[in-house]
Amino acid sequence: MLDKKATDVLVLHVAKLTSVADYLVLGSADSDRQTRAIADHVDGILSQAGCPPISIEGKAPSQWVLMDFGDVVVHIFRQDARQHYGLERLWADATRVPVTHKPHAGPAVTLKPIPQKRVRTAKRA
């Protein structure tokens, strides 16, 4: 995300709060075009690492793109949409994970393919 100039990147550890995901990754962009570029970049990097998204929502309007990778859900917002929805406030009890960035260093974590048993096929209520 940071390679495409995402701002206010935040990683929340939510495993103790929900069964939907272990981590939420939030990032902001200044325009719809930048939002799409960040989403395409995240998709490309993780797909190359063997972790393709289970689903992507909101890419066409690009005000809020949600990318579901199983244990990790990525939210990419246009700045005004992020302020409006306030996911940081909704997940205020989540542990914040420090984000560091080393340009051109590649992914900071070892990525593993999503095990088939963890893939969700039905939407949760």
- pLDDT tens-digit map of 62-118: 889 999 999 999 999 999 999 999 888 989 899 898 887 665 445 454 434 444 444
User: Percentage of the chain with pLDDT > 70?
Assistant: 80
Query: What pLDDT score does 98 carry?
Result: 84
Q: Long-range contacts for 89-92 (Cβ within 8 Å, ≥24 apart)?
A: 91/12, 91/14, 91/17, 91/24
Q: Mind listing the domains of the chain with CATH numbers?
A: 2-118 (3.30.460.10)
Query: What pLDDT score does 103 carry?
Result: 56
Q: How far apart are CA 42 and CA 107, in angstroms?
A: 10
Closest CA to 96 of 30, 25, 20, 46: 25
Q: How far apart are CA 38 and CA 28, in angstroms?
A: 9
User: Percentage of the chain with pLDDT > 90?
Assistant: 50
Q: Long-range contacts for 78-86 (Cβ within 8 Å, ≥24 apart)?
A: 78/28, 78/29, 78/30, 78/31, 78/32, 78/35, 79/7, 79/28, 79/29, 79/30, 82/8, 82/26, 82/28
Write out pLDDT tens, residues 63-79. 899 999 999 999 999 99
Query: What pLDDT score does 3 carry?
Result: 80
Q: How far apart are CA 11 and CA 14, in angstroms?
A: 9
Is the pLDDT at 34 greater than 80? The verdict is yes
Mean pLDDT of 34-61: 91
